[in-house]
Amino acid sequence: MTFHATVLTLYPEMFPGPLGVSLAGRARDEGTWSLEMVQIRDFAIDKHRTVDDTPAGGGAGMVLRVDVLAAAIDHARKGNPAAPVIAMTPRGKPLTQARVRELAAGPGVIVLCGRFEGFDERIFEGRGVEEVSVGDIVLSGGEPAAIMLLDACIRLLPGVMGAPSSGAEESFENGLLEYPHYTRPQEWDGRTIPEVLRSGDHAKIAVWRKLQSEIDTRSRRPDLWERHSGARVQPASGARREKKD
């Protein structure tokens, strides 16, 4: 089954970009996923092909017009009827690995990329559009956010990642950050690989990794830890805290 991605943007030339190389690029060549670009400007209704207008109520910047967006979405839905429509916006629900998993298990996704001040608010309810943010940062456009979303989905598609198990222990898959990794050389700049990882004792290594994963999540991401443990976060005894210089 092919995962169909449709991207609505004013800058289709930004794609496939990073999605055209490495794992994602190969998977696209193999037909694991497909990409259709829709130029939002093609759905403008005036002779100047205007896609934006000044914000109601005044203020800086320009807002993407709801009628133009609706026409572009309606067109995209015809080509990708079963896929959810997701708008990239810092006002959206933060993207999670759990949502990425759901999307990757589905027929695909229609992604709407904003520009300027963003979208006319009426598009979301009016066309059943899900609002998603990729973090508490402001990008100049939704395209890099769309690439993030698609990359995260594509790597989960069957056959894309070499070893199927390499996804299972990854950060966020069990609500925790992954344990830290090391590889040769054994000693670098006076720093060594933790002894246990060279012991060959797989049970001991598993225990160490689980503990590191918990310690790091607790100190670096108390929000994740709180959700994971279902408890209020206490000051972490034994947790490795980053030293502030």
Q: Please, is 226 exposed, middle or buried when counting C-beta atoms within 10 Å of its C-beta (0-12, 13-18, 19+)?
A: middle
**Token pair 């607790």: residue:** 218
Q: By rule CB under 6 A, what count of residues binds ligand SAH? A: 18
The answer to the question of residue 4 lying near ligand SAH (CB under 6 A) is no
Binding residues for ligand SAH restricted to 120-149, rule: CB under 6 A: 133-135, 137-139, 141-142, 145
Please pick, from the candidates 9, 80, 89, 212, the single residue that binds ligand SAH as defined by CB under 6 A: 89
Interface with ligand SAH in residues 164-193 (CB under 6 A) = none
What DSSP designation does 2 have?
P
208 touches 182 (CB < 8 A): no
Could you say which of 49, 91, 240, 241 contacts ligand SAH (CB under 6 A)? 91
Question: Under a CB-based contact definition with an 8 Å cutoff, are residues 145 and 113 in contact?
Answer: yes
Residue 117 touches ligand SAH, criterion: CB under 6 A: yes
Cα within 13 Å of Cα(82), Cβ side: 8
Which residue has tokens 């963003």? 118
12 binds ligand SAH (CB under 6 A): no
Helix (H, G, I), strand (E, B) or coil at 152: helix
Contact status: 150 vs ligand SAH (CB under 6 A):
no
Pair type for strands 33-39 and 52-53: unpaired
10 Å Cβ neighbour count for 30?
A: 11
The binder of ligand SAH chosen from 40, 113, 150, 154 (CB under 6 A)? 113
Task: Supply the minimum distance, in Å, between the C-beta of residue 88 and ligand SAH.
Answer: 4
The answer for residues whose C-beta is within 8 angstroms of residue 141's C-beta and 6 or more apart is 9, 10, 11, 113, 114, 115
Is 115 a binding residue for ligand SAH by CB under 6 A? The answer is yes
Residue 88 vs 109, nearer CB to ligand SAH: 88
Cβ closest to ligand SAH, residue 11 vs residue 208 = 11
Residue choice 86, 88, 104, 150 for contact with ligand SAH (CB under 6 A) = 88
Q: Smallest gap, in angstroms, from Cβ of residue 142 to ligand SAH?
A: 3
Stretch of 27-35, 110-118, 166-174, 187-195 lying at the interface with ligand SAH (CB under 6 A) = 110-118
Plot region of 172 (φ>0 → left; ψ -120 to 50 → alpha; else → beta):
left
Interacting residues with ligand SAH (CB under 6 A): 88-91, 113-115, 117-118, 133-135, 137-139, 141-142, 145
